[in-house]
């Protein structure tokens, strides 16, 4: 019997652990510690102020609450939209009567390689109210009433931002669900067809249950992405107009640039604690994969 | 459903597929066409072909957007951080996957929690200051390596499990030490997962915008994303130049995507389907 600890020494994992510890874990912990202080760029002294930063976020009728609720709305809505659209596309593009399936799959997946920032900039130009492609196109169809100020109208802007994020992200869900669908044995469907099951019955009783692990995984990914979103919103609207599309991470950057470091780290810590409280479910969903693999 | 109904639904489904593809591709086609138009023509964004193909737009953008230096910066950050990730993560995944008990088990869950947990960018500034890494290229490379370690470890951990243990045993009987076992026996078998890591991490670093925004205040050290963002701010009404700039930023990742498509699609689905 070989000595496992000698043959597989833990320090082989030391480099990865050290780098992660120093640059990801320490900032997280230090950030929570600093959230109880008045840390800022204007004085070199740091005082303990207890919970007053958190009170400023939660107790008053503050702009911070707006950022938190925006973050939650963004997370829930984009997760649902990406999953529904991605799954519908996956079902559509695995049907035999669709022509050029692989071409469609590649096209719809392609925005994945684009950074969120660039996707944001592309749509900032496409959605420009006077020169943008979308409004030009609508006007050329004499649908002027549909041409809106997509990114400056207070009522339009948040749905627009979420739609653009869905545009960028739906291909990923589609590809993952297609991989899941292709791993389902066709015999199940054949047996169901013999029993006279309709498309929707097959979907509900065969496809959905078998896709459950895949769907849990992509939901976890979408939720953690949504809570942390920054690039897409920063490049599309920078949180504006006003603070209509501000989310936690755009607010963190705003406080950081103003030198208001304690508030920045408080907001970041709130996000950290929210995700930490979900971590159990996240790790569980990933363990499922190991069993599958 | 009758035969006619089937034909109609078949046509409808194909129409939906085509429409969705159009919605995805049209913005990119408009952008591509715009990048060859004159400023006046580009101002009215349409799908029409340029009256005159202005290839010099690209030359102007490369010069005025300082794209060459930011291209090289982006390449430097991506290549070095990916090399660091691949080395550290494959060594770590090897011992953790083979002996997932005690401290190894703890280290594994500790590191992969980073897949979900957000980075505290404000406090990270403080840490980088203490380490004298703010506004340095070394700092940004190490930072990119650190943030890409968790997902890479997770993917590699699953892969090592597929390499038979008998290989280790045979190597040990032949007198291999742990280091030799890893370098001579295991590492050569890791090519597929290393390709996946390379493609995924390269795209993640190349596309990142947050880290340079926070930690690089010298425009000579900016990667493509930050350069294109600032170019957009400065030339917001020269849509032709902005379009050319965006196309140039997209080109390298598109190239990596086309070459490594197999690994990307394999990697992302492995991350969610099999593990």
Q: How far is B92 from chain A (nearest CA, A)?
A: 4
Average pLDDT over residues A139-155: 86
Please indicate, yes or no, if residue A3 is contained in any of the structural domains: no
**Which residue did the predictor score with more confidence, B66 or B169?**
B169
Give the confidence band of B273 by pLDDT, cuts at 50, 70, 90.
very low
Q: What is the phi/psi pair of residue A37, to 5°?
A: -125, 180
B73 in Cβ contact with B221 (< 8 Å): yes
Highest mean pLDDT among A181-185, B23-27, B267-271 belongs to B23-27
Please indicate, yes or no, if residue B130 is contained in any of the structural domains: yes
Mean pLDDT lowest among A195-199, A203-207, B188-192, B255-259:
B255-259
Please indicate, yes or no, if residue B223 is contained in any of the structural domains: yes
Determine the pLDDT at residue A10.
85
Structure tokens at A155: 């009522």
Please indicate, yes or no, if residue A13 is contained in any of the structural domains: no
Q: How far is A15 from chain B (nearest CA, A)?
A: 6
Determine the pLDDT at residue B4.
83
State what percent of residues in chain B have pLDDT above 90.
36
Determine the pLDDT at residue A1.
46
User: Into how many domains does chain A fold?
Assistant: 1
Determine the pLDDT at residue B6.
83
Mean of per-residue pLDDT scores for chain A:
88
State what percent of residues in chain A have pLDDT above 70.
96
DSSP H helices, chain B, are 3-34, 39-42, 56-64, 67-98, 102-112, 121-130, 137-160, 166-173, 178-180, 191-207, 210-215, 224-234, 239-259, 261-269
- Report the candidate in B25, B149, B22, B12 with the shortest Cα–Cα distance to residue B90: B149
Residue A9: list chain B partners with CB under 8 A: 95, 178
Report CA-CA distances (Å) from A103 to A106, B17, B20. Answer: 5, 10, 12
B116 in Cβ contact with A278 (< 8 Å): yes
SS3 assignment, position B192: helix
Please indicate, yes or no, if residue B215 is contained in any of the structural domains: yes
Same domain, B205 and B100: yes
Mean pLDDT lowest among A257-261, B127-131, B154-158, B237-241:
B237-241
Compute the half-sphere exposure of residue A120: CA atoms within 13 Å on the CB side of its CA. Answer: 25
End-to-end CA distance of chain B: 41
Give the confidence band of A3 by pLDDT, cuts at 50, 70, 90.
confident
Asked whether the beta carbons of residue A235 and residue B124 sit closer than 8 angstroms, the reply is: no
Residue B111: list chain A partners with CB under 8 A: 16-17, 20
Q: How far is A105 from chain B (nearest CA, A)?
A: 8
The B residues from 130 to 189 touching A (CB cutoff 8 Å) are: 131, 142-143, 145-147, 149-150, 153-154, 158, 161, 168-169, 172, 178, 181-182
Report CA-CA distances (Å) from A219 to A82, A174, A285, B247. Answer: 9, 13, 10, 31
Average pLDDT over residues A281-287: 74
Q: Chain B within 8 Å of A273 (Cβ-Cβ)?
A: no
Q: Chain B within 8 Å of A68 (Cβ-Cβ)?
A: no
CATH of the domain at A117: 1.10.3720.10
Residue A292 clears pLDDT 70, i.e. is over it: no
Instruction: Name the residue range of residue B205's domain.
Output: 65-234
Instruction: Name the residue range of residue A253's domain.
Output: 44-292
Q: ipTM strictly over 0.95?
A: no
Residue B271 clears pLDDT 80, i.e. is over it: no
Q: Chain A within 8 Å of B129 (Cβ-Cβ)?
A: no
Torsion of CA B38, B40, B42, B48, to 10 degrees: -90
Report CA-CA distances (Å) from A249 to A124, A216, A269, B169. Answer: 20, 25, 11, 49
Mean of per-residue pLDDT scores for chain B:
87
Determine the pLDDT at residue A226.
94
Determine the pLDDT at residue B1.
54
Same domain, B21 and B70: no
DSSP H helices, chain A, are 4-7, 14-20, 26-34, 52-58, 63-92, 101-109, 116-126, 133-140, 157-182, 186-194, 199-202, 208-228, 231-236, 248-258, 261-292
Determine the pLDDT at residue B20.
93
Determine the pLDDT at residue B269.
54
User: Into how many domains does chain B fold?
Assistant: 2
Determine the pLDDT at residue A2.
59
Determine the pLDDT at residue B53.
86
Give the confidence band of B123 by pLDDT, cuts at 50, 70, 90.
very high
Determine the pLDDT at residue A78.
96
Q: Give me the residue from B120, B265, B275 closest to A269, CB to CB.
A: B120
As a whole number of angstroms, the distance between CA A166 and CA A48 comes to 42
Please indicate, yes or no, if residue A7 is contained in any of the structural domains: no
Average pLDDT over residues B124-151: 94
CATH of the domain at B105: 1.10.3720.10
Q: What is the pLDDT of residues B239-256, one digit of tens each?
A: 888 889 888 888 888 887
B122 in Cβ contact with A37 (< 8 Å): no
Give the confidence band of B266 by pLDDT, cuts at 50, 70, 90.
low
For chain A, how big is the Rg over CA atoms in Å?
Answer: 24
Mean pLDDT lowest among A254-258, B5-9, B141-145:
B5-9
State the pTM of this model: 0.89
Compute the half-sphere exposure of residue A273: CA atoms within 13 Å on the CB side of its CA. Answer: 11
Which DSSP symbol is given to A3?
-
With a CB cutoff of 8 Å and minimum separation 6, the contacts of B256 are A113, B199, B202, B203, B206
Same domain, B69 and B40: no
SS3 assignment, position A37: strand
Same domain, B37 and B74: no
- Report the candidate in B272, B270, B216 with the shortest Cα–Cα distance to residue B69: B216
Please indicate, yes or no, if residue B15 is contained in any of the structural domains: yes
Residue B63 clears pLDDT 80, i.e. is over it: yes
Determine the pLDDT at residue B161.
86
């Amino acid at each position: 019997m070989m000595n496992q600890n000698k043959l597989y020494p833990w320090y082989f994992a030391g480099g990865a652990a050290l780098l992660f510890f120093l640059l990801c874990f320490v900032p997280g912990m230090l950030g929570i510690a600093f959230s109880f202080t008045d840390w800022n760029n204007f004085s070199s002294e740091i005082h303990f102020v207890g919970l007053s930063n958190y009170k400023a976020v939660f107790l008053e009728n503050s702009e911070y609450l707006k950022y938190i609720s925006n973050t939650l709305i963004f997370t829930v809505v984009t997760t649902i939209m990406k999953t529904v659209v991605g799954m519908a596309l996956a079902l559509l593009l695995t049907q035999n009567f669709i022509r050029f399936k692989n071409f469609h799959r590649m096209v719809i997946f392609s925005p994945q390689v684009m950074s969120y920032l660039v996707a944001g900039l592309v749509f900032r130009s496409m959605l420009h109210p006077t020169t943008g492609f979308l409004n030009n196109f609508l006007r050329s169809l004499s649908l002027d009433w549909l041409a809106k100020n997509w990114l400056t109208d207070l009522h339009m802007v948040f749905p627009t931002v979420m739609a653009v994020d869905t545009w960028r992200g739906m291909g990923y869900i589609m590809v993952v669900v297609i991989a899941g669908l292709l791993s389902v044995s066709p015999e199940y469907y054949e047996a169901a067809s013999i029993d006279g099951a309709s498309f929707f019955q097959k979907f509900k009783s065969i496809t959905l249950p078998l896709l459950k692990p895949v769907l849990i995984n992509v939901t976890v990914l979408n939720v953690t992405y949504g809570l942390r979103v920054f690039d897409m919103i920063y490049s599309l609207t920078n949180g504006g107009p006003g603070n209509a599309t501000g989310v936690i991470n755009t607010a963190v950057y705003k406080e950081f640039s103003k030198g208001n470091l304690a508030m920045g780290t408080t907001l970041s810590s709130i996000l950290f604690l929210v995700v930490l409280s979900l971590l159990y479910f996240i790790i569980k969903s990933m363990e499922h994969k190991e069993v599958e693999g | 459903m009758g035969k006619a109904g089937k034909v109609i639904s078949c046509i409808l489904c194909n129409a939906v597929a085509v429409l969705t593809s159009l919605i995805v591709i049209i913005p990119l086609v408009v952008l591509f066409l715009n990048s060859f138009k004159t400023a006046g023509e580009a101002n009215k964004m349409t799908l029409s072909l340029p009256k005159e193909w202005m290839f010099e737009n690209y030359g102007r953008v490369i010069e005025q957007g300082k794209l060459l230096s930011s291209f090289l910066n982006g390449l430097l950050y991506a290549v070095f951080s990916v090399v660091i990730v691949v080395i550290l993560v494959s060594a770590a995944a090897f011992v953790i996957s083979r002996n997932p008990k005690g401290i190894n088990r703890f280290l594994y869950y500790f590191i992969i929690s980073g897949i979900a947990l957000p980075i505290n960018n404000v406090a990270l500034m403080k840490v980088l200051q203490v380490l004298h890494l703010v506004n340095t290229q070394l700092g940004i490379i190490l930072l990119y390596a650190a943030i890409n370690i968790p997902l890479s470890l997770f993917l590699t951990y699953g892969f090592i499990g597929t390499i038979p243990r008998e290989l280790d045993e045979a190597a040990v009987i032949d007198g291999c030490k742990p280091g030799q076992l890893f370098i001579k026996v295991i590492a050569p078998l890791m090519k597929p997962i290393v390709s996946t890591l390379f493609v995924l991490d390269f795209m993640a670093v190349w596309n990142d915008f947050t880290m340079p925004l926070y930690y690089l205040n010298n425009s000579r050290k900016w990667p493509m994303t930050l350069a294109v963002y600032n170019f957009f701010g400065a030339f917001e009404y020269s849509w032709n130049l902005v379009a050319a700039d965006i196309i140039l930023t997209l080109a390298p990742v598109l190239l990596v995507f086309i070459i490594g498509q197999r690994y990307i699609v394999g990697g992302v689905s492995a991350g969610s389907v099999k593990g």
